Structure 1
Amino acid sequence: MPAQQADERTRLLKHNQPNNGRNEQTSEHQQDGNASQGDNDREDVEVVDFEKDDNENPRNWPLFWKYIQVLLVFSIGLLLPMTSSIFAPGVDKIASDYGTNNQFVMGGQTGFVVMLGIGPLFFAPMSETFGRRIVFLTNMTLFTLVQIPTALAPNASTFIAMRTLSGLFGSVGVANGGGSISDMFETHERAAVLGFYLLGPLIGPTLGPFAGGLILAHLHWRWLFGFTCIISAVITITCFMLLHETYAPIVLDQRKKRLEKEYEGKSFKVEGQTDMGLLQKIGGNSTRATKILFGQPIVLIMSIYQALIFSTMYSLYSQFTTIWSSPPYNFNTTQLALSYLGPATGFIVTACIIVPFIDRVYNRLAQTYNNGKGKPEYRLPLANIGAVFLPASLFWFGWTVQAGKPWPVALSAMLLFGASQVSIFNTVQNYYIDAFESMAASALAAGSVLRSIIGGVVPLFVSKMFEQIGYGWGFSVFGIMALVLMPAPLLFFWYGERLRERFAMDL
């Protein structure tokens, strides 16, 4: 945004003085003995704040400019999770080149996904200390650079280490994406924009193998990370040019520094700015997230539910190459890439239906049952769609593949799997925000840590399970767990309010 002119700064300075009551004049009749002490003790401190129509306030930016910021944040949120699974179709080739087994190479996915959950514990408070923009740009730059040694890794150990670093830097999209959108939009404007943004982190892991399969059809597997490096570099350069700071305290702090240079001898402050150090913020953020995770039954159970979805998704994608390239299907590389469009199609179609209806169902239930006053539990009914689709899709897919049924029959199950992901994930995220209000960020972080760790680790062990018991019983294991958790959205719809009150926390 353009810098504020001097006359506007003067106007802001004058505007702030009477509002903050710091214009008391020193009495002319003070005794000579204490006049100088009085002058020092009563130095004016002006509060730097936004005016009603302040054009530096991110919430007052033109809508077109806000959408540019959202598009950039969405691009980051899409690319980085997409990279978590982009090499899934090439696991066999990577393992062969490194002279190791597939399970060891899958450690590159595990390290990446686990870091997607751990990173936000650090980068969320860092963005509140240094600003959203600098944290985005720093991590995107490092993420881009790390793709080079990943592509050139001489052995599997180096490959896994570089992939883990990629996940750490790549977690910035999860850590700061929602916060950036909240900075720019009021509560009543935010639902649709957040719904659009969430498409990126959710569909990214599905589009990753699709893109990876197309690349492997024509190029060596190392180009998977060359492609990632090029796309990431383009997004990073674009962000350097167009991504602006959206976190209000940082924007005001920048104004404060400009005013201090212009008005030497004057003191300014930003209201509500904390003196807490970065390490204290990081410690507080991670501790609070852990307390909420294990102290709030709703967060714990719904986080386990999301962890089941993520572990199933990454386990499924890790097996796609083996399933579709083997008899009776015998897919080539291009056909294998196209098979990932099954869950992606279910995801996109359901997102177009679920996201707009979350608010509609919420408002209808509020009018019908609570005199127009909403409750967080009113976000959950649509999650029951995914609760039914998830086990159905897993049993369907596992047993049709086991029986060697035609590929359209098996892939049709993936439409339901994609639908289950978006309906559960979107409604639960909205539920967290409504139910825990000021603690929502920590509740989201708690869920992110659990689902990323479990989602990253479980695929390391499923290959042997599928070898021993087959795909029918193997996916039935996930399906049975999904059946056990299936009543959770319905139960929390009826009893969630009591649980929230009983296990309320003062953090």
Structure 2
Amino acid sequence: MASSPSLTPAATHTDGERDNDSGSDAQLQLRRKISQAVDEGHDADIPSSQGFVLSEEEELRRQRSIADRRRNSIASGGSRANRDVEKAQAPGEAALSSSNDDDDSDTSPNVVWWSGPNDPENPYNWPTWRKVLNCGLISAMTFISPLASSIFAPGVPQVIAEFHSTSLEIAAFVVSVYVLGFAAGPMLFAPLSEIYGRVILYHIANVGFVAFQIGCALAPTLNALIVFRFFAGVFGSVSITNGGGTIADMIVQEKRGGAMAVFSIGPLLGPIIGPVAGGFLSDAEGWRWSFWLLTIVGGFLGILMTFSLKESYAPVILERKAAKLRKDTGNDLLRSKLDAGLSPRDYFKRGIIRPFKMLFLSPIVAITSLYMAVTYGYLYLMFTTMTEVFQEYYGFTTSTVGLAFLGLGVGSMIGIILFSGTSDRYIQRKAAQADAEAQATGGTKAGMKPEYRLPLLPLGAVFIPAGLFIYGWTADFRTHWIAPIIGTAIVGIGNLIVFMSIQMYLVDTFTIYAASAIACNTVVRSLAGAVLPLAGLPMYSKLGIGWGNSLLGFIAVALFPVSIFVLKYGEALRNRFVIKNL
């Protein structure tokens, strides 16, 4: 297999220069590996902005693509310099037979790379205001999109009454179907982003998001509303799918924590603030105005993004640079260093097939995805049932019932503070201890093991059932309304800890393929988030709020050993079941 492009985020080679960093330096390789893992820590199968890792079959296709360019260039009367290089051999012969061919190697004069360490086209060198603007707009959209998943919840009784429905399942599904769109969206838009970049997909998604919000606001039937909600979720998933990668494009790893924390707040607070705003709005103007509000805010933000966003995806930036140079110089052999030479069909295969291969071939992916699916399903089950519970048990009105969701929001914020405040420091301390022990014994430095992300996982696994028991029984006995809200806050803490622990573990485990693992996890948990809530209201109707939540709590208790199992045997599983030919 031909040598792959440098993976170092800070690499700043001039066109055609050889990388001066020593590839044999173990610590440098470790830094590269960790950096690429973080670059792929988002919900999509988008390759690192610093290069591709191809299978042998894909590498052969890339070589053939380069050979075809040579043939076309010679046939069309390419430059004399290019023809001289090829005089001694048949066009494309060396490209297919040797990865060390000068015209194929990454040091070839025909390979286009950054112009220097301070190249202003490199997103890492953008001015601070540009990075803040890009990050801020994308983070704002990642707040609006999840907010749309739940802002509609307080108005569901009005919808059911207007369309004369008596189905409890439909009442829940009209809310959770949006999350089903979150499962479908990444499988479509992630491969597209490999081809066309991030910005164009943001613009398309914003138009689709606004268009289907208008459709929801004007929906003539309940079935039409469900369909429009689904497609709104599909387009709304793009900002969450690609947002983390966009931030990684612009901000180096050691400074990325703050930006990622801001980015994470939107998906956490959006579903919580949604019912608060939706409750007052539905009570004052009717349920349709929840969608008009999303249309107005989403449209305004989309306009700002149209005129302000700048492409940050390095393969697309360099391909545009190469295309301009080909036009200016007439040298058709010029190519981006990050050009994988794959067809659109191959990109889609990479984006769609690999996550499912991981799900079925990697036990650690399957176990963590299923466990995450249960906890995520519980979260959306609560979103779809809390309106009914607090209106029936505590007499909350349509306008005030949204305030009951603040418990989940406060709990989620506590969870993210707890995790972010301890995880990085813990893994750095553990890695330093392991390296010191290795140095003392003359062994190889171990670096940061993915399992260092997991110590809080059992704590989160305890908080979830504890919060469910408190929420269920305090509501069942009509204890003061603050008691069940405290229970939901505890669930929020546990859910966030489980979510962050597993996601960061997958990122650190699969490094360059982390995005595929996250995409797999996203699909599974989003399906659970859409389907599991359908059982919520019928379950409470038959068992009552106390025993209904107790049933969920007992299931969570039964799954507690999963957290211990992953913590104890995760390393052995990931080392034993290594997936090849991804």
| TM-score > 0.5, shorter chain as reference | yes
In the alignment, residue 457 of structure 1 is paired with which amino acid? V
Residues 346-400 of structure 1: CA distance to partner in whole angstroms, max 9, x if unpaired? 1113322321321011112223345372100001112232111111000111111
Which residue matches 2:469? Answer: 395
Q: Which of 391, 407, 426 is equivalent to 2:481?
A: 407
1:68-107 alignment to 2 at 5 Å?
Answer: 68-101=133-166, 102-107=168-173
Q: Which of 93, 110, 131 is equivalent to 1:46?
A: 110
Does the Cα contact within 8 Å between 1:192 and 1:355 map onto a contact in 2? no
The CA distance in 1 between the partners of 2:349 and 2:110, in whole Å, is 32
In the alignment, residue 532 of structure 2 is paired with which amino acid? V
Alpha-carbon distance change, 47 to 486 in structure 1, aligned in 2, over 3 angstroms: same
The TM-score, its normalising length taken from structure 2, stands at 0.78
Most deviating of 460-469 and 448-457? 460-469
The CA distance in 2 between the partners of 1:267 and 1:280, in whole Å, is 22
1:159 aligns with 2:260: no
Alpha-carbon distance change, 469 to 321 in structure 1, aligned in 2, over 3 angstroms: same
Q: Aligned-pair distance for 1:36?
A: 11
Q: Aligned-pair distance for 1:160?
A: 0.8
Which secondary structure state, in structure 2, belongs to the residue aligned with residue 65 of structure 1? Answer: helix
Most deviating of 88-97 and 293-302? 293-302
Alpha-carbon distance change, 435 to 40 in structure 1, aligned in 2, over 3 angstroms: closer
Alpha-carbon distance change, 18 to 350 in structure 1, aligned in 2, over 3 angstroms: closer
In the alignment, residue 141 of structure 1 is paired with which amino acid? V
Does the Cα contact within 8 Å between 2:150 and 2:275 map onto a contact in 1? yes
Alpha-carbon distance change, 294 to 473 in structure 1, aligned in 2, over 3 angstroms: farther
1:301 aligns with 2:367: yes
Which residue matches 1:423? Answer: 497
Which secondary structure state, in structure 2, belongs to the residue aligned with residue 331 of structure 1? Answer: coil
Alpha-carbon distance change, 37 to 461 in structure 1, aligned in 2, over 3 angstroms: closer
Does the Cα contact within 8 Å between 2:318 and 2:338 map onto a contact in 1? no
1:228 aligns with 2:294: yes
In the alignment, residue 427 of structure 1 is paired with which amino acid? S
Aligned alpha-carbon RMSD (Å): 2.3
Does the Cα contact within 8 Å between 1:381 and 1:489 map onto a contact in 2? no
Q: Which of 361, 374, 382 is equivalent to 1:316?
A: 382
Does the Cα contact within 8 Å between 2:454 and 2:567 map onto a contact in 1? yes
Does the Cα contact within 8 Å between 1:118 and 1:168 map onto a contact in 2? yes
The CA distance in 2 between the partners of 1:315 and 1:37, in whole Å, is 64
Q: Aligned-pair distance for 1:470?
A: 0.8
1:477 aligns with 2:533: no
Most deviating of 432-441 and 370-379? 370-379
Does the Cα contact within 8 Å between 2:277 and 2:402 map onto a contact in 1? yes
Q: Aligned-pair distance for 1:143?
A: 0.8
1:171 aligns with 2:237: yes
Alpha-carbon distance change, 330 to 405 in structure 1, aligned in 2, over 3 angstroms: same
The CA distance in 2 between the partners of 1:267 and 1:401, in whole Å, is 70
Which residue matches 1:486? Answer: 560
The CA distance in 1 between the partners of 2:201 and 2:131, in whole Å, is 19
Which residue matches 1:16? Answer: 15
Which secondary structure state, in structure 1, belongs to the residue aligned with residue 284 of structure 2? Answer: coil
Which secondary structure state, in structure 1, belongs to the residue aligned with residue 334 of structure 2? Answer: strand
Does the Cα contact within 8 Å between 1:45 and 1:267 map onto a contact in 2? no
The CA distance in 2 between the partners of 1:390 and 1:38, in whole Å, is 68
In the alignment, residue 357 of structure 2 is paired with which amino acid? K
Equivalences, count = 480
The CA distance in 1 between the partners of 2:563 and 2:131, in whole Å, is 34
The CA distance in 1 between the partners of 2:125 and 2:390, in whole Å, is 51
Q: Which of 311, 334, 345 is equivalent to 1:268?
A: 334
Which secondary structure state, in structure 1, belongs to the residue aligned with residue 395 of structure 2? Answer: coil
Q: Which runs of 5+ in 2 are unaligned?
A: 1-11, 20-79, 88-102, 437-445
1:119-198 alignment to 2 at 5 Å?
Answer: 119-198=185-264
The CA distance in 1 between the partners of 2:435 and 2:112, in whole Å, is 41
In the alignment, residue 112 of structure 2 is paired with which amino acid? V
Most deviating of 410-419 and 63-72? 63-72
Most deviating of 103-112 and 223-232? 103-112
The CA distance in 2 between the partners of 1:210 and 1:304, in whole Å, is 30
Does the Cα contact within 8 Å between 1:394 and 1:413 map onto a contact in 2? yes
Q: Which of 397, 400, 403 is equivalent to 1:332?
A: 397
Which residue matches 2:350? Answer: 284
Residues 425-445 of structure 1: CA distance to partner in whole angstroms, max 9, x if unpaired? 112111111001111000000
Alpha-carbon distance change, 182 to 470 in structure 1, aligned in 2, over 3 angstroms: same
In the alignment, residue 386 of structure 1 is paired with which amino acid? G
The CA distance in 1 between the partners of 2:175 and 2:542, in whole Å, is 23
The CA distance in 2 between the partners of 1:277 and 1:127, in whole Å, is 13
Identical-residue share of aligned pairs (%): 33
Does the Cα contact within 8 Å between 2:176 and 2:384 map onto a contact in 1? no
The CA distance in 1 between the partners of 2:545 and 2:506, in whole Å, is 34
Residues 56-78 of structure 1: CA distance to partner in whole angstroms, max 9, x if unpaired? 10112123322221222211212
Q: Which of 437, 445, 450 is equivalent to 1:376?
A: 450
The TM-score, its normalising length taken from structure 1, stands at 0.89
The CA distance in 2 between the partners of 1:468 and 1:174, in whole Å, is 37
1:443 aligns with 2:443: no
Does the Cα contact within 8 Å between 2:214 and 2:291 map onto a contact in 1? yes
In the alignment, residue 353 of structure 1 is paired with which amino acid? L
Which secondary structure state, in structure 1, belongs to the residue aligned with residue 548 of structure 2? Answer: helix
Which secondary structure state, in structure 1, belongs to the residue aligned with residue 110 of structure 2? Answer: strand
Alpha-carbon distance change, 17 to 414 in structure 1, aligned in 2, over 3 angstroms: closer
Q: Aligned-pair distance for 1:45?
A: 6.0
Which residue matches 2:42? Answer: none
In the alignment, residue 108 of structure 1 is paired with which amino acid? V
In the alignment, residue 171 of structure 1 is paired with which amino acid? S
The CA distance in 1 between the partners of 2:478 and 2:17, in whole Å, is 78
The CA distance in 2 between the partners of 1:70 and 1:356, in whole Å, is 22
1:460 aligns with 2:514: no
Does the Cα contact within 8 Å between 2:173 and 2:533 map onto a contact in 1? no
In the alignment, residue 41 of structure 1 is paired with which amino acid? E
Which residue matches 1:67? Answer: 132
Q: Which runs of 5+ in 1 are unaligned?
A: 1-11, 21-34
The CA distance in 2 between the partners of 1:352 and 1:204, in whole Å, is 17
1:204 aligns with 2:203: no
Most deviating of 489-498 and 433-442? 489-498
1:256 aligns with 2:301: no
The CA distance in 1 between the partners of 2:17 and 2:143, in whole Å, is 47
Which secondary structure state, in structure 2, belongs to the residue aligned with residue 458 of structure 1? Answer: helix
Most deviating of 381-390 and 186-195? 186-195
